[in-house]
Structure 1
Amino acid sequence: MIRYNLRCDRGHSFESWFQSSSAYDSQLKRKLVTCAVCGSAKVEKAIMAPRIAGTKKRDKPAAADLSTPAMAQERELRAGLRQLHDHLVKNADDVGARFPNEARKMHYGDIEPRPIYGEASPEDAKSLIEEGVAVGSLPVLRDDRN
């Protein structure tokens, strides 16, 4: 697994994990890598410092050890996102690829509103938002991709 620091065309920074460099390239080409903040598919790698793992134990903490509070924060954030994700999946209907159509029908009063989730391309999501349809992205967590 490889972690990349990423940045969208609107300046939002975020990170994501990929199985390999080629997996990142493939997903980026297919516009599957989107900004975690705004959903933009115009994403590029941001500058990041390499992480070097040592083999010897040292008296002084290694640079990676200094980030323990940050790592604990990340674990806590991921746990919260997992709870949110699980709650949404448990309490909403999975409409799959029909998501854009179902969301529009509810927005325009053609069907009774209910909690739903499913799949939408970045273009479909943008179109829904421009129409005033309230949509959001479910977080995709590392173990969801394995």
Structure 2
Amino acid sequence: MTIYFYKIDDEYGCFSNFSPHGFELDGVFWNTSEHYFQAQKFAGTEYEDQIRHSLSPMEAAKLGRDRSKPLRKDWEDIKDEIMKKAVQKKFSTHKDIQKVLLSTKDNVIIEQTSNDYYWGCGKDGTGKNRLGLILMEVRELLKKYD
């Protein structure tokens, strides 16, 4: 069986980076994993803090995608590590959603989005599904401690 997710109010909505599951990481609180991920594009700048304090994950995403601000030089090399760090912290902090992730057993997890061919499966299913793969990696790590 394949597990699909996208919207936060769907059955597996907690897999979305927009889900309201905050956590502390790097010494501060982040409202969502989207806030953390987008802010790390500008780590060490005032823009990082502006994104952290944004009112919603959608606003954090919009700010993080603003190309008038310079991305950190190593972003393309570390973005997957940053995403995994956020996802791992989110699911280790919240036992309720950790149970949901573990309940997927060894099923494939796919972010079913039509416009993202890197983090999701893309419109035609040929995307890299990096977020789904990271969720499955985190699931394997959590199984060791369950």
TM-score normalised by L of structure 2:
0.22
> Could you say which structure has the higher strand fraction?
1
Q: If the length of structure 1 is used for normalisation, what is the TM-score?
A: 0.22
Structure number with greater CO (CA < 8 Å, separation at least 6) is 2
